[in-house]
Every structure is written in C-alpha cells, then in structure tokens.
Structure 1
Amino acid sequence: MIGIVIPAHNEEAYLAECLHAARLAATHPALDGEPVEIVVVLDSCSDASASVVESFDVHALTLDARNVGKGRAAGASFMLERGARWLAFTDADSRVAPDWLVVQLALDADAVCGCVTVDDWSAHTSATREAFYRAYTHADRHRHIHGANLGVSADAYRRAGGIPPLECSEDVAFTEQLAGIGARIAWSAAPCVVTSARVASKARGGFGDTLAALAEREAREALAGCAAVSHALTDTEGQEA
C-alpha cells in the first residue's frame, strides 16, 4: 500500500483541488491496482477544511499543534500502522501530477525530492517571478527540498527516525536525517507538483516566506538602483554647472 500524507491548516480554498489531484494520482493505471490511501491531517483548522475533506473518500486526523512537522509525522505514523510501504508527502495548497506516484516509485530510490512549479503569480510582481526562476533549478540533480513533493520508503523513514516536530523546515531536517543514514535520495525534476504562490505564508520559513524574501530583495535592489541613478544624475548636473 502507498500512503499519501497531506497536512492542512485552514486550507478550504485549496483542499478540493488538492484532493482531486491526489485521487487521480492514486488511481493511475501504471500502479497496477496497488492500493493507495490518503490522509489529511487537519491541524488547528478554524475554517471549512474539515467539511471539504468529508466530501472525499480519504482519512482525516485532527491535531491542535499548529506545527507542520507534527502534522506530517502524525500522518506518516497513521499510514505506517496501516501497512504503507511508501509515503508520499504533499501540501494542501498543491496539486500533484497524475503520474506523481508512478514517477516517484520508478526512480527506485529510498527517497525522492522533487521540484515545484507555480501556476499563478498574480499576487506577486514580475520581478519576484523572474527572481524565483533565476534562482531555481528545475532539473535533475537539483538540491531543492519541498514538503509538497517528497517521497520516502517506509523502511528509510523508520531508519531515519521520522519527520521531526518542527514548525518550519521539517522537510529539510528530515532529508538531512535521510542523508545521515546513507539513504539513496533521488533529486529529480520528474515528479511534478504545482503549488500556490500566496502572499500569506502558512508556515514560517516555508515557500511563501521564500517568495516574500525574494520580493524584498528585489525591492531593495530596485531602490539601490534608483539611488545610484539619482546620484549619477546629480554628479552630471554638478559637472555641467
């Protein structure tokens, strides 16, 4: 059995699309009928996320931790207890490709770190978008780590000690644990996941904060550029006088 784990905190706006995509991946014909189960870990939700989950044939766990590391770990433990041989993690504001699981398994690794793409940059400036793509390597042998696109065998998960209970960067810490036990990690661009580029980040230090930092850096550089131009013009005017 394959287990898909999706932590969620107030994700009513994205959850339905996320679960539709996960169900498509779970029923891909190349899985040859292997059972795939999905669990959504509802962490401190005060919106209609639970109602959205109830409309799908998936499992739901409820936490009051406001901690994405604890959420992923709770979902992983639930799936391992049910006999999962492979754990596939994504986020509630993300949509996995129909062949997401097939591609992860085909890489024949202990763990898979995939890339993400963004399909709607409307909340950000074009400068932020361009800065992201300049800094991002969407190719094999990248070194990006995303909780929205992470897979691991049950054996490697256990040997690595599981996902740590961190409020942010739990995916990075867990990948370091995997490397520490000598796990074979596939750094691949093949497993595709589309994620949101929302301005309000749900996890401190997460993808949303990364985009915010890029926007801030672009703004600083733009201001510095304007100041340099102004200074140059002032110098030129002084020389002409």
Structure 2
Amino acid sequence: MKISIVIPAHDEAETIAQCLASIQIAIEQLPSTFTASVLVVLDSCTDDTLKIVQATGFDYLCCYYQCVGQVRDLGIRHAIAHGATWLACTDADSTVPMDWLVQQMEHLDQQRADMICGVVSINNWGHLSSQTQQAYITHYQDKMGHRHIHGANLSFSSDAYLATGGFAPLTCHEDVDLVNRFRARRYTITWSNRVRVLTSSRLQARAKEGFGAFLANLEKVSWS
C-alpha cells in the first residue's frame, strides 16, 4: 500500500517544521510493506513556509486559491495520480504521534475502513480560561465511536475519494461535506480515538468557521 500525507499550509512558518518532523517519525514506524510520502500544498504563502518545506526535502505544490477545500483536493488528486491508495490529512499547525499511521493501518486491517475520522488533543491550554477548557472537555467525546470531524485528522481510500467527488471548493467545513458524502454512499467509516493528532489552540483561525474560531467562541462565551 502506498500512503500519502497531504498538508495544506498558509503562512505556517512557525509550525510547519514541527509538523513535518512528527510525520517523518510516524512514517518510520510503518512496516516495510508500506510506503509513505508527504505532500505540502502551499496556498498564497507570504512568509518563510516555502523555504522551510524545501529544507526538509518533502514534496510540495504552490497555489493561490485561498480556499482550503480546493487546496486539499489539489493535493489529494496529485497524490493519487502518483500512485497513492490511502490518503491521510492533517494540518500544518498540528503534530502527529509516532503511531498515527500505524493505528490507521490497524483499523484498515480490522474494520476494512474506507475512511477514518480521528480525534484531536489541544496542545496548550495556557492562554485559555479554565471555563473554556471545561466547556471543551464537556463537549468533546474522546472515545471510539465519536462523531467529531477534523480535517486535521481525516484519512480515506483513493477509490472512495474519487467516487464521492473529493473535497468541494469550500472555504470551511470541507471536511464535514466530504464525510457526509461518504455516509450517503454508505462507505465504511471508523470513528477512532486511537488515531489522534495534537492541534493548535490558537484563536486566530485560518478558516473563519474552523477549529480556532470554535475555541475563540468558547472563550468569548466564558467571559460574557
């Protein structure tokens, strides 16, 4: 099996190196029967993100969509065209544990999943109120069978992706849209808390209605 990890990036110079280093470690844990590659899709970057990615030696594409759905789709289709049969998505402000890919492969072996929806853990609560932390913990279902959807931790087969039409050109919730189309076609989805990533708690969201905006709203409510 050929795995491709696809990462959209827009001005992520502060976080992209750590993200890619964690992915490299996860790749190294895979058995020799698997091959894995990394593709960063840089969208309208104006900082040093490109230079940092070039220094790692990983593959990359550049585009100017300013639309995360289009960026993800560009990267996924490029990876499929180069032989990828399993696609794993994460974000440039996230890091993955060393067993991230191994856990995915175990689910494929056990459940024959067409898609895996993983969970996220917050990397730093220090700048957020205790009320926000408690509200988040109360809301979040960190368990097998959860129903959370994160573009930062979503993986799927190439065949199912192409059959559903792929990520739509949406500036937000492109991940929810894709999962809903997998559901509509009755593909097998594994909702796993064994597959997790550590994600940024920054409140300056790249997507206006994304995860950062969700945290910012919790913080706003906690002080109101």
TM (norm. structure 2) is 0.95
Match of 1:193 in 2: 197
Within 1, Cα distance between the matches of 2:56 and 2:17? 9
Match of 2:78 in 1: 78
Within 1, Cα distance between the matches of 2:181 and 2:31? 29
Residues 110, 153 of structure 1: 8 Å contact kept: yes
Within 1, Cα distance between the matches of 2:152 and 2:179? 13
Q: How many pairs does the alignment contain?
A: 219
Q: Does the residue aligned with 1:156 lie in a helix, a strand or coil?
A: helix
Residues 3, 88 of structure 1: 8 Å contact kept: yes
Q: How does 1:224-235 map to 2 (within 5 A)?
A: none
Gapped regions of structure 1 (runs ≥ 5): 221-241
Match of 2:186 in 1: 182
Match of 2:173 in 1: 169
Residue 147 in 1 paired to residue 174 in 2?
no
Q: Does the residue aligned with 1:55 lie in a helix, a strand or coil?
A: helix
Match of 2:219 in 1: 215
Gapped regions of structure 2 (runs ≥ 5): none
Within 1, Cα distance between the matches of 2:56 and 2:33? 19
Instruction: Please give the root-mean-square deviation of Cα atoms over the aligned residues, in Å.
Output: 1.0
Q: Does the residue aligned with 1:189 lie in a helix, a strand or coil?
A: strand
Q: Which has the larger radius of gyration?
A: 1
Residue 136 in 1 paired to residue 140 in 2?
yes
Within 1, Cα distance between the matches of 2:57 and 2:25? 12
Match of 1:113 in 2: 117
Deviations 1:57-95 (A, max 9, x none): 211100111111111101101100010010000000000
**Aligned AA (2:160):** A
Q: CA deviation at 1:13?
A: 0.3
Q: Does the residue aligned with 1:116 lie in a helix, a strand or coil?
A: strand
Q: Percent identity over the alignment?
A: 39
Within 1, Cα distance between the matches of 2:4 and 2:15? 20
Q: Does the residue aligned with 2:126 lie in a helix, a strand or coil?
A: coil
Within 2, Cα distance between the matches of 1:126 and 1:48? 34
Within 2, Cα distance between the matches of 1:33 and 1:92? 27
**Aligned AA (2:156):** V
Within 2, Cα distance between the matches of 1:124 and 1:51? 32
Match of 2:22 in 1: 21
Match of 1:99 in 2: 99
Q: Does the residue aligned with 1:31 lie in a helix, a strand or coil?
A: coil
**Aligned AA (1:124):** L
Q: How does 1:25-36 map to 2 (within 5 A)?
A: 25-28=26-29, 30-36=30-36
Residues 123, 199 of structure 1: 8 Å contact kept: no
Q: Does the residue aligned with 1:217 lie in a helix, a strand or coil?
A: helix
**Aligned AA (1:8):** A
Deviations 1:122-167 (A, max 9, x none): 2211211111111101000100000010000111111111111100
Q: CA deviation at 1:31?
A: 2.8
Match of 1:4 in 2: 5
Deviations 1:3-33 (A, max 9, x none): 00000000000000000011111121x4325
Match of 1:39 in 2: 39
Q: CA deviation at 1:188?
A: 0.6
